[in-house]
Structure 1
Amino acid sequence: MATTLAAQPTSPSSAEVVNYFATLKASGRNSWLNVAHPRQDGELPARLSTLSPAEKIALASIRGPLHCADGWSYLSQAMRALFSGHAHTCRHLAYYAELRAGLSILASQGVCIGKKYHFYVDAAGDVRAWEGQSTHEEIWNALTQWAGFNGSFEVMMAALKIGGVSLESAIKTFFPVLPSAQLGTQLIRSWGYDLGKGHQDRATRNISSYGVNDLTELPTSLSKGFELAKTIWEAIAPVGNSLEVYLLKNLLRDQIRKSGDTYLPHYKTQYNSLDPRLRRHFEWKFVTAPLKRSIHPIFVLASDHTPPARPEAVLSRALLLLRLATQMNNQNFEAAGLNTIDDLQFWWPKFGSERGFYDHSAPPDELSDLWSDVEIALEDLVDPAPATPYAFARLDMPSFNRIWETDRSVLWALIK
């Protein structure tokens, strides 16, 4: 048995995942798994051989959206910890949000990571297993290996959109041929930095997870947390696309620099060929503005690798991976022909009501309506920000808890 994903004779594919969700729609089923599936808890058995290929594909498929939703819930609680003065708890939860995002991205492509034994499904529908390392280490191994496969960068860029237009089509308008394996690996290594440092950083991270926190200072700033919250909500709002806009600019400018022809007006013809829907959000003056003046705050925080990892930095990297995971899973839903609001009615109303977004008997008619509560909360934020968690906790804000409920975005981004 091979010991890595990269050593396998074939590559993973999302085709069977899409087929699984198409079957879910066609059958009108009211649960993620068929009632006859032997693992209703979604977990892998100690011996994979006890599952049929179809049962394995089912587990890989559902883990994509469900790990994604759980990742957003971890991020939400990390935000709450940040505002409550619990820096170590924030870092711990943000790391696990990043971990769930990695699991979700892999599952969306038919790769299922277990405790020691892992498997994937290829384009022919064959299920292949390998014996690797434990979960934390193997997620990183498999994720970086997958990112370096031919076509993986294109899959990621096809899922991320601006004005309904994929970043893949925009990039190829400028550069039809790209070193995609290199770009995919670079992106995942950047956004999943904490997963990659999991082994080396385990000692410092375990202080947050299991240690005596009060004896190890982990500085954080409430005022910076305020600004971070505003930036995060701007990025994940129902019509938010700021992360994608800045990512596209950075990718294009990096390729322009590498091409040797750095005179930007030479690229105006390609820019004019972009879909008008994209150009409305991606103006030429923004493309040509100096990079130093147009770096998104989330990318700035995500690039901070100062040890020990700062809570805001881990939180930002988790956000980027979760945004990617959300869009990749939604892409699978669309390819399967799911009308997610109707076809996943057995799941999403309960997801929102259990988190207190609405009463269980009255889910919203339009999921984007959940954004209005957040808008009110953001308007209620005082300026300047309170200097201490004590002062913040005593603000007269009825909408107080909405500030950190980032898992609301599951209902307007993953479900729609």
Structure 2
Amino acid sequence: MSIPALLNTDKPKVRLASRKAVEEYFIRCAAAGGNDRWIDEANRYRKLTTKTYEADESSASVHHAALIEYISASAPTHLIDGWSYLGRTTDAILRGDLNAAIHFAYYAELRAAMSLLACEGIGVFNRKHPIIDKSGTSTSPIKRTQLWDRGSKRYKKQPASTHGTVWPLLHHWGSLKRAENLIEGLIAPAGYTLRQWLDALSIPSSMRAISKKWLRTWGTDLTRLTDDHDSRNMSSYRPSELRLAPAPSAPSAIEFVADLWKLFEPATGGRFPQLEKELLKRIVRASGKPITADALENNLGMPPATAANWQRYLTNPDEPKPLTLSDKNSDVDQTDCSFQVASRAALLLFLATGSTRKHLIDAGYSSDNLEFFWRRLCEVRFGGPANILPDEPIDLWDDIEATISEAEAWSAAASPNASLGEWRKRQPAIMNQIVSLELAAVWGLVA
């Protein structure tokens, strides 16, 4: 597979990109109070973004302040769109429309990467991709990437398309110390950092290696489906009726979607503790190290009963279906492919959500600052009208949990080969609610 890479001359732009400038944008927004939008309506790049920027860049008339505002504001907005695409993915899976599911899941993964990069001060546009420089007041573009040519056995430069540039940017950023530091700070099972857990259990794993592996695995479709144009085009542009993958049974699809929801059960502070625990367990199991309750008592100060519970959990081989599937790569005409791409998109969205939330919290955002976003979204996509929504969006989990339980109860009583059509006929209201994964964006940014 030929994977595009950044030019060596562009790598310092990524290394020195200003995350601080993005944070300062949100500090100004929070200080203004009473926010009702992510960006000023008069911003030059709010509409016709790429066309306006390319024209300005060609004429050396870039409005850097407006462009920095746009890149900053695109972090939460790409994220929200990414979760919406993932919601449409689950809707397509539960209708047996697997080609549409792959299409939506790929774009959920793409938007997650774009949000994560925007948090770092890196814009992903069309053919020119602006990066906020170290000063935080100006930008410079990436215009070319390079692709390995098998015939000449050397790299050749090529125009920096969106799909061909997002992975080189994400891959290089993921190799940097700044990515390691960010990811380590986003995951803290039971309030302990990953480094504290690994040290307590005498696991010598490098956090840099872990973060690089996660980004490489969870973003794999940005390389695989970009390089393999035929595969991506088959899902997005070619008639699906000519090569239908076998539809999943209703119990199989329900299990996958239910497990996905459970990974994103929210907690206060915008955390997803079940997913954080599962990611820790993956690291621990991959190490092959014996896990004892004594080590947790002595090194983390856990009470004996708590340490024993964690020891049992960390040595339990059971794993939610999305995590298992995230490591696998089936052809696009196989039933599990849509599940696999959806799983990876959800995990990359998890990182992008944590990164975006960090900006908002560090800038002093309160739930009141974000009410304009979450009430509108929930009214339209989940539980409207707005005046009956709870004061705290985390309370919506109770409705989702009840919905999942009803779907699982039907599945347990149904034939293992029951069709999705049969299930939807029996539980149409459940089908309508169980695909509202936009709620994860709300919980991650607001709760």
| Aligned-partner Cα distance in 1 for 2:100–2:233 | 11
Shift in CA distance, 54/271, structure 1 to aligned 2, threshold 3 Å: farther
One-letter amino acid of the structure 1 residue matched with residue 124 of structure 2? I
SS at match of 2:106: helix
Pick closer, same or farther for the CA change 1:83–1:25 going to 2, 3 Å.
same
303 and 228 in structure 1: CA distance in 2 versus 1, 3 angstrom threshold: same
Q: SS at the partner of 2:227?
A: coil
SS at match of 1:18: helix
1:322 is aligned to 2:349:
yes
Contact 1:85/1:389 (<8 A) preserved = yes
The answer for the alignment partner of 2:101 in structure 1 is: 90
Give the deviation of 1:396 after TM superposition. 4.1
**Structure 2: how far apart are the matches of 1:275 and 1:131?**
52
Aligned with residue 337 of structure 1, among 356, 364, 387: 364
TM superposition shift of 1:245: 1.1
Judge conservation of contact 1:3–1:130 (CA < 8 Å) in 2. no
Q: Distance in 1 between matches of 2:18 and 2:414?
A: 47
3-state SS in 2 of match to 1:73? helix
**1:53–1:357 Cα change, 3 Å:** same
Q: Choose which of 236, 239, 242 in structure 1 pairs with 2:264.
A: 236
Aligned to 1:8: 13
The alpha carbon displacement at 1:217 in A equals 2.4
1:247 maps to 279
Q: Distance in 2 between matches of 1:274 and 1:71?
A: 36
Change (3 A) 1:281 1:142: farther
Partners of 1:42 and 1:323 in 2: CA distance: 29
CA apart distance, 1:362: 4.1
Moved more, 210-219 or 369-378: 369-378
Counterpart position of 2:148: none
1:129 maps to a residue whose letter is P
Contact 1:327–1:413 (8 Å) recurs in 2: yes
The normalised TM-score by structure 1 is 0.88
Aligned-pair distance for 1:165?
Answer: 4.3
Deviation at 1:280, TM superposition (A): 7.3
Cross-structure match for 2:91 = 80
State the shift of 1:360 in Å: 3.3
* Secondary structure of 1:410 counterpart: helix
Q: Residue 39 of structure 1 aligns to which amino acid in structure 2?
A: Y
CA distance in 2, matches of 1:3, 1:118: 16
Alpha-carbon displacement from aligned partner over 1:140-186 (angstroms, at most 9, x marks no partner): 11001100012312211211232444435534555798644433221
Instruction: Pick one of 49, 58, 71 that aligns with 1:43.
Output: 49
Distance 1:135 1:384, change over 3 A: farther
Choose 222-231 or 68-77, whichever is displaced more. 222-231
The structural deviation recorded for 1:385 is 4.5
Between stretches 2-11 and 362-371, larger displacement belongs to 2-11
Letter matched to residue 131 of structure 1:
K
The answer to whether the Cα contact below 8 Å between 2:14 and 2:122 also exists between their aligned partners in 1 is: no
Q: Tell me the alpha carbon deviations over residues 366-402 of structure 1, each in whole angstroms, 9 at most, x when there is no partner.
A: 1012212212212221024561122122114533311
Measure how far apart 1:35 and its partner are: 4.2
Deviation track 1:2-53 (CA, whole Å, cap 9, x = no partner) reads: 6774243842242121111111011124322234421233824223454333
Tell me the residue number matched to 1:56. 67
- 2:9 is the counterpart of 1:17: no
User: 2: distance between equivalents of 1:95 and 1:181?
Assistant: 26
Residues 118-144 of structure 1 deviation map (CA, whole Å, 9 limit, x = unaligned) = 122245425332213111111111001
Task: Give the counterpart letter for 2:397 in structure 1.
Answer: W
Q: Does 1:146 align with 2:181?
A: no
Counting aligned pairs with the same residue, the percent is 25
CA contact (8 A) 1:173 1:274 kept: yes
Q: Which residue of 2 is the match for residue 353 of structure 1?
A: 379
Structure 2 unaligned spans of 5+: 1-5, 145-159
Asked if the contact 1:349/1:360 (under 8 Å) is kept, the reply is: yes
Q: Is residue 91–residue 315 contact of structure 1 (8 Å, CA) maintained in 2?
A: yes
Going from structure 1 to structure 2, the CA distance change for 1:106 and 1:276 (only over 3 Å counts) comes to farther
Match of 1:365 among 391, 400, 413: 391
Kept after mapping to 2: 8 A contact 1:189/1:196: no
User: Aligned in 2, Cα 1:286/1:103: closer, same or farther, shift over 3 Å?
Assistant: same
Structure 1 counterpart of 2:238, which letter? G
Note the alpha carbon deviations across 1:207-265, whole angstroms, 9 max, x for none.
111111011122341321110111011111123422211211222444x45xxxx4545
Q: Displacement, 1:65?
A: 0.9
Distance 1:364 1:77 in 2: 24
**Runs of 5+ unmatched residues, structure 1:** none
Asked whether the equivalents of residues 75 and 406 of structure 1 are also in contact (C-alpha less than 8 Å), the reply is yes
Q: Distance in 1 between matches of 2:205 and 2:134?
A: 24
Deviations 1:52-99 (A, max 9, x none): 332222111111111111111111111111111111111111111111
Specify which of 282, 285, 306 is matched with residue 312 of structure 2.
285
Aligned mates of 2:14, 2:49 — CA distance in 1 = 26
**Counterpart of 1:355 in 2: which secondary structure?**
helix
Q: Distance in 1 between matches of 2:307 and 2:374?
A: 32
Q: Is the CA contact (8 Å cut-off) linking 2:86 and 2:105 kept in structure 1? A: yes
**Separation in 2 of the partners of 1:64 and 1:134?**
20
Aligned equivalent of 2:403: 377
2:222 & 2:297 partners in 1: Cα distance?
A: 36
Whether the 8 Å CA contact 1:94–1:311 is kept in 2: the answer is yes
Q: Provide Cα deviations, 1:310-351, integer angstroms capped at 9, x if missing partner.
A: 111111111111111111111111111211x21123322222
Q: Take 1:94 and 1:4, find their aligned partners in 2: how far apart are those partners?
A: 32
**Does the CA-based 8 Å contact 2:18-2:120 persist in structure 1?**
yes
| Alignment counterpart, residue 190 of structure 1, candidates 211, 217, 224 | 217
Shift of 1:352: 1.9
SS in 2 for 1:199: helix
Provide the residue aligned with 1:32 in structure 2.
38
Contact 1:246 1:294 in 2 (8 A): no
The number of aligned residues is 405
Residue 413, structure 1, aligned to residue 417, structure 2: no
Asked if the contact 1:98/1:322 (under 8 Å) is kept, the reply is yes
Deviation track 1:270-323 (CA, whole Å, cap 9, x = no partner) reads 66433759x679702333x26xx2444222111111223611111111111111
